[in-house]
Amino acid sequence: MTKAITVSGLHKSFGRTHALDGLDLSVGSGEVHGFLGPNGSGKSTTIRVLLGLLRADSGAARVLGRDPWTDAVEIHRRIAYVPGDVTLWRNLSGGEVIDLYGRLRGGLDPRRRAELVERFELDPTKKGRTYSKGNRQKVALVAAFASDVDLLILDEPTSGLDPLMEEVFRRCVAEERERGRTVLLSSHILSEVEELCDRVSIIRRGRTVESGSLAELRHLTRTSVSAELAGPPDGLAGLPGVHDLDVRGRRVRLQVDTDKLDAVLRSLSESGVRSLTSTPPTLEELFLRHYQDEVTAR
Amino acid sequence: MSAAALAVRPTRSRQFAGTGILLRFALRRDRVMIPVWVAVNALMVLSMPNTLEGLYGTPAERADLVAQMAGNSSLRAMVGPVLGDSLGALTAWRAGVYAGALAAVAGLLVVVRHTRDEEESGRQELVASGMVGRRASLTAALLAAAVANGVLALLVTAGLAGRGAAGALAFGLGIGGVGMVFATTAAIMAQLTESARLARGLTAAVLGAAFVLRAAGDSVTDDGSSPLTWASPLGWLTNLRAFAGERWWVLGLFAGAVLVQGAVAYALAGRRDLGMSFLPSRPGPAAGRLGSAGALAWRLQRGGVLGWSTGFLLAGLVYGGMAKGAAELVGDNEGAREIFRRMGGQSGLTDAFLAAMAGMLGLVAALFIVASVLRLHGEETSGRAEPVLAGAVGRLRWAAGHLAVAFGGAVVLMLLAGAGLALGHGERAGAVLGACLVQVPAVWVVGGVAVLLYGLLPRAATAAWGVAGAALLIGWVGPALDVPRAVLDLSPFGHLPKLPGGGMEWPPVLVLTALAAALVAAGLAGLRRRDMTT
């Protein structure tokens, strides 16, 4: 698979702050890639490097096979970008801004534009200053989804959208994927990421800490198991990958590294299983683990 | 029962809750701007007596000046009538209109900044959700303006007290009074419009109208007695007669205007919702035709260019009409002759007047070019540049759009000023037009410095205002103050040939043009290399 975005060993400092500290990122063509991390972890800095608005101190970045700093204009012809906080010109109407953004990219599909304005329930005749936060977001989203581009870079694009519009957004992203477009989606809404993304990268303090498909990432984390057995369990404590073991008579609760699950199940069934609940890790847990590591590290 | 009664009857005092905190906050935010405005204004006034003493040292010379001013309508229109022959009275004459106008500009900037600007940006919403009364913000803004004008009045009074305590007090209060009248005008405009920019523009237009009314009135009378002069707050300052038999009751006009306008502003503020205005905003087109960064730059700046153009054309017409009368005044006063020679060149005094006016308009055009170039900075820091630059638009092309408006606009302004001067003067259109166009390279150099600062030191970009201000100060006040040649040479305007009258000299014009081009190129090179800020 060709890569839409490859980033390796990216460094960027602002004065004494190291915003990016050797970040790696790889986004395959045609995939929807989730880009996660706590506030201030460097997501927006990365995106601004990918857009050629910031120049990296060191490291390599390629967007659509080109250097985002030197070939910014050629790349931007094939990119649509939605920032997390859209600011509009106070005296230009939303429709004017949508068309401007479209023309500044590869062009705009007027049929799709009309359809999107309808679906997002946006009044394009209002002036920039009169839009609410959510409606300003919609202006940028309509312009992005209606543009004729290969790659969409969305930086917390749904902030301020109501749940109905959030649903419209999800359907739009799914449609983009069906058309074979690549999407880099930075978001804190984990259900959104879980539903939409093929692969995710989690960054912390300017570094990539996890990257892969959700299935792969789940594999790296722990599954919770609780069971009621026919007889007292035996030898569970000695198994590799078992944590937080809690045995009360015949009731057993434990956490196990997902790739060590097999041995635990075998051990349990030797004692005879009456009931068994196993919960796979959610993205929240995945994410919280990285947040909490950060808390304990301090 | 009592709880319900309390809920429906807000006590009057609570409407001003939080005013003290907001006032301190406003003064903290303006801790640089207000002192600089006040200091510049006070210095200009307080340096005047010594300068005038050098020019009109003896009572005979001063009596001569007074007699001549009585016969010259065009210079009276510019500066106002001379009402007495003491140094104090001459100071009030020479500095009054400009000190008043400067105080008015400061007042309007402070008030709009702390009222409509805050609402437009959305910051006010958060502030108003605190323990802040409905009238607190407007009150704090007016008080901040009152502090600025009060300190100015105090400095002027103290600094001129040696020339006559009563006159100094009247003059100080008069200048502060003009400042407060326009502060309250701005308070009304801030209620009427949704945009801070428009509120500032409308108040500035009222100030311009006040200037024109006074100029028209003073050109037909030599003692400020025309009803036109009385209709203008700037004319009240003249009619206060500081150092020339003070008319104390005129201070009542200032107080009355401040009270009435303040009451209107409060009444309007009490009848509207936060962020709303009385002039409704119309819906825009559902589909747009803007297709490039250049078109966007023009769309964003065209209103400003139109406003400036109108002003330049009108100013040219008015000053052109005065040109012939200018020669009458200077007559045989050697000092004034010398000033005009330094401002305008060696040849005929009408030529010198025209050259001086062309030079003055050039200095004002420097303000336009700085404002226009700094739109780049505003677009970048507001975050609006980011999505544009994420489109297929190179930074240079994006910048070029705004720079074309800025540098081309400067040419258009000077063309219109020249056309106005030529029409008003009615003679030698080509020479007058040339006198205005020759200013353009110097205006460009100031614009080039703005581009350089923006490109290389974006955080210091607004220092370009200081550059334009310094050029203005050197060009406006310098010739009257016997400033050393080395200082005059710092301003690009000091190197221009004095047209019409003097001969055209190409070398300085070409050198300045090349310098402007180099500054722009260096600034753009910096912009291309640096990170974009938010």
Q: Which chain B residues contact residue A184 at CB under 8 A?
A: none
Give residue A2's pLDDT: 84
Of A109-118, B253-262, B288-297, least confident by mean pLDDT is B288-297
Both B115 and B248 in one domain: the answer is yes
Between A99 and B274, residue with greater pLDDT: A99
B524, B399 Cβ separation under 8 angstroms: yes
Beta bridge partners of A7: A25, A61
Residue A290 is encoded by which pair of tokens?
A: 């990285």
Give residue B8's pLDDT: 45
Contact A53 B388 (CB under 8 A): no
Choosing from B246, B278, B310, the residue where a domain stops is: B278
What HEC string does B132-144 produce? CCCCHHHHHHHHH
Which of B193, B273, B290, B299 to probe the A interface (max A CBs under 10 A)? B290
Give residue B402's pLDDT: 96
Give residue-wise pLDDT tens across range B294-307: 999 999 999 889 98
Give residue-wise pLDDT tens across range A55-72: 999 999 999 999 999 888
Q: Taking residues B104-128, report their average pLDDT.
A: 88
Q: Environment class of residue A208 by beta-carbon count within 10 Å: exposed (0-12), middle (13-18) or buried (19+)?
A: buried
CA distances from B349 to A134, B64, B66, B227, B423 (A): 64, 18, 19, 31, 19
Closest by alpha carbon to A68, among A79, B455, A150? A79
Contact A92 B299 (CB under 8 A): yes
Of A42-51, A104-113, B268-277, least confident by mean pLDDT is B268-277
Place of tokens 């030599």: B222
B488 touches chain A (CB under 8 A): no
Distance between CA atoms of B154 and A12, rounded to whole angstroms?
Answer: 52
A148, A106 Cβ separation under 8 angstroms: yes
Q: Taking residues A225-231, report their average pLDDT.
A: 87
Give residue B453's pLDDT: 96
Both B144 and B239 in one domain: the answer is yes
Is residue B103 domain-resident? yes
Give residue-wise pLDDT tens across range B472-531: 878 766 665 566 778 788 899 988 888 887 788 899 999 999 999 999 999 999 999 999
Q: Which chain A residues contact residue B389 at CB under 8 A?
A: 51-53, 72, 76
Q: Is A166 helix (H, G, I), strand (E, B) or coil?
A: helix
Give residue A223's pLDDT: 83
B383 touches chain A (CB under 8 A): yes
Q: Taking residues A228-246, report their average pLDDT.
A: 83
Which of B282, B386, B530 to probe the A interface (max A CBs under 10 A)? B386
Closest by alpha carbon to B393, among A146, A147, A103? A103
Contact B288 A96 (CB under 8 A): yes
Q: Which chain B residues contact residue A106 at CB under 8 A?
A: 392
Proportion of chain B above pLDDT 90, given as a percent: 44
Distance between CA atoms of A285 and B134, rounded to whole angstroms?
Answer: 47
Mean of pLDDT over chain B: 86
Both B203 and B316 in one domain: the answer is no
Residue B206 is encoded by which pair of tokens?
A: 């009222």
DSSP character at residue B244: S
Contact B286 A53 (CB under 8 A): no
CA distance B262 to chain A (A): 27
Q: Which helix (H) or strand (E) holds B464?
A: helix B463-476
**Is domain A3-215 in CATH 3.90.79.10, yes or no?**
no
Give residue-wise pLDDT tens across range B314-353: 888 887 877 776 655 555 556 666 666 665 554 567 787 7
Distance between CA atoms of B461 and B374, rounded to whole angstroms?
Answer: 7
* Sequence letter at residue B186: A
List A residues 86-105 in contact with B (Cβ-Cβ < 8 A).
86-101, 103-105
Mean of pLDDT over chain A: 88
Place of tokens 């500290």: A21
**Closest CA in chain B for residue A71:** B394
**Inter-chain Cβ pairs, chain A and chain B, closer than 8 A:** 115
Give residue B524's pLDDT: 96
Contact A53 B390 (CB under 8 A): yes
Q: Is the pLDDT of residue A266 over 50?
A: yes
CA distance B382 to chain A (A): 7
Sheet holding A199-204, edge to edge: A79-82, A151-155, A182-186, A32-36, A199-204, A207-213
For residue B500, whether the previous peptide bond is cis, meaning omega lies within 30 degrees of 0, is yes
Distance between CA atoms of B268 and B188, rounded to whole angstroms?
Answer: 8
B149, B107 Cβ separation under 8 angstroms: yes
Give residue-wise pLDDT tens across range B226-242: 888 999 999 999 999 99
Per-residue confidence at A82, pLDDT binned at 50, 70, 90?
very high
Q: Taking residues B94-114, report their average pLDDT.
A: 91
Q: Is A248 helix (H, G, I), strand (E, B) or coil?
A: strand
**Closest CA in chain B for residue A140:** B387
Contact A53 B290 (CB under 8 A): no
Both B201 and B303 in one domain: the answer is no
Give residue A297's pLDDT: 43
DSSP B306-374: HHHHHHHHHHHHHHHHHHHHHHHHHTT-HHHHHHHHHHH-SS-HHHHHHHHHHHHHHHHHHHHHHHHHH
DSSP character at residue B164: -
Place of tokens 């040479």: B489
Nearest to B388 among A91, A104, A127 (CB): A104
Choosing from B232, B247, B278, the residue where a domain stops is: B278
Q: Please state, as a whole number, how many other Cβ atoms lie within 10 Å of the Cβ of residue B208.
A: 15
Distance between CA atoms of A156 and A24, rounded to whole angstroms?
Answer: 20
The answer, as to whether pTM is greater than 0.95, is no
Nearest to B391 among A94, A101, A129 (CB): A101
Give residue B392's pLDDT: 87
Choosing from B214, B245, B278, the residue where a domain stops is: B278
DSSP A12-51: EEETTEEEEEEEEEEEETT-EEEEE--TTSSHHHHHHHHT
Fold annotation for A222-280: Alpha-Beta Plaits (3.30.70)
Q: Which chain A residues contact residue B299 at CB under 8 A?
A: 92
Both B271 and B360 in one domain: the answer is no
Contact B387 A83 (CB under 8 A): yes
Dihedral of the alpha carbons of B362, B364, B367, B373, in degrees to the nearest 10: -40
Of A169-173, A277-281, B278-282, B418-422, least confident by mean pLDDT is B278-282
Q: Which chain B residues contact residue A139 at CB under 8 A?
A: none
Q: Which helix (H) or strand (E) holds A201?
A: strand A199-204
Q: Environment class of residue B381 by beta-carbon count within 10 Å: exposed (0-12), middle (13-18) or buried (19+)?
A: middle
Cα B360-B320-B348 angle, rounded to 5 deg: 80
Both B305 and B264 in one domain: the answer is no
Per-residue confidence at B203, pLDDT binned at 50, 70, 90?
very high
Beta bridge partners of A202: A36, A210
Give residue-wise pLDDT tens across range B46-68: 988 888 888 788 888 888 878 77
Give residue-wise pLDDT tens across range A141-198: 999 999 989 999 999 999 899 999 999 999 999 999 999 999 999 988 888 888 899 9
Contact B383 A127 (CB under 8 A): no
Ordered by start, the domain boundaries in chain A are: 3-215, 222-280
List A residues 140-169 in contact with B (Cβ-Cβ < 8 A).
140, 153
Between B281 and B447, residue with greater pLDDT: B447
Both B341 and B395 in one domain: the answer is yes
Contact A83 B386 (CB under 8 A): yes
**Residue B73 structural domain:** 28-278
Give residue-wise pLDDT tens across range B145-196: 999 999 999 999 999 999 999 999 999 999 999 999 999 999 999 999 888 8
Q: Which chain B residues contact residue A55 at CB under 8 A?
A: 529-531
Give residue B71's pLDDT: 63
Q: Environment class of residue B484 by beta-carbon count within 10 Å: exposed (0-12), middle (13-18) or buried (19+)?
A: exposed
Contact A88 B394 (CB under 8 A): no
Q: Is the pLDDT of residue B105 over 80?
A: yes
Q: What is the ipTM of this complex?
A: 0.75
Q: Taking residues B37-44, report their average pLDDT.
A: 90
Give residue B274's pLDDT: 75
Contact B290 A99 (CB under 8 A): yes
Residue A173 is encoded by which pair of tokens?
A: 């992203």
Cα A67-A71-A74 angle, rounded to 5 deg: 125
Give residue-wise pLDDT tens across range A269-283: 888 888 888 887 777
B126 touches chain A (CB under 8 A): no
Place of tokens 């200013």: B439
Give residue B108's pLDDT: 93
DSSP character at residue A276: E
Contact B290 A140 (CB under 8 A): no
Distance between CA atoms of B443 and B375, rounded to whole angstroms?
Answer: 17
* Sequence letter at residue B529: R
Both B397 and B509 in one domain: the answer is yes
Give residue A270's pLDDT: 85
Q: Environment class of residue A187 by beta-carbon count within 10 Å: exposed (0-12), middle (13-18) or buried (19+)?
A: buried
Nearest to B285 among A88, A90, A93 (CB): A93
